[in-house]
Amino acid sequence: MQSNQRGMTIVELLVVMTIVGILAAVAFPAYEGQQRKGTRAAAQAAMVNIANKQAQILLDARNYALGAGALAALNVTLPVEVTSFYTVTVTDKDGATAGTNPPTFTITATPIAGKRQVADGVLTLNHTGAKTRDGKTGW
């Protein structure tokens, strides 16, 4: 007599689990990379917004908003996607919070330690429009 077998053998199950494991090992880092790129893009957009507001305030006040109160003075609220992963500061070109003559500013987005953005390094944007990421020119 022949009996009809149904189901999978343990070997077939192990092969399927191995294939799924390999796919997950390849896909997960790519997924994390895309999340990091999305958060970086949000931070860059926020920095460009701050720079645009700085240009407006320079026309009115003849100086840039700097220091701890700069974002409030510019009426900028950073999105949660940015504040969860970056600390954003606005200083003059030398890192000071007092104005210089001629006026300058540097917007710095520093990744928060232990978060996924640490791999990107520090993002900067200054009054001339120069952008750096992790000390290298361009974003």
Kindly list the averaged pLDDT for each block of 10 residues, start to end, along the chain of length 139: 75 95 94 95 97 93 90 95 96 72 91 94 95 93
Beta-bridge partner residues of 65: none
Predicted local confidence at residue 39, as pLDDT = 97
- Whether residue 64 contacts residue 104, with contact meaning beta carbons closer than 8 Å, is answered with yes
Nearest to 58 by CA among 47, 70, 69, 43: 70
pLDDT in tens, 46-83: 999 999 999 999 998 889 999 989 999 999 999 999 99
10 Å Cβ neighbour count for 111?
Answer: 22
**pTM listed for this prediction:** 0.81
Q: How many Å apart are CA 50 and CA 115, to the nearest integer?
A: 23
Instruction: Write the CA distances from 67 to 42, 61, 72, 113, 123, integer angstroms.
Output: 22, 16, 10, 22, 17
What are the structural domains of the chain? Answer: 10-137 (3.30.540)
Do residues 123 and 108 touch, judged by C-beta distance below 8 A?
yes
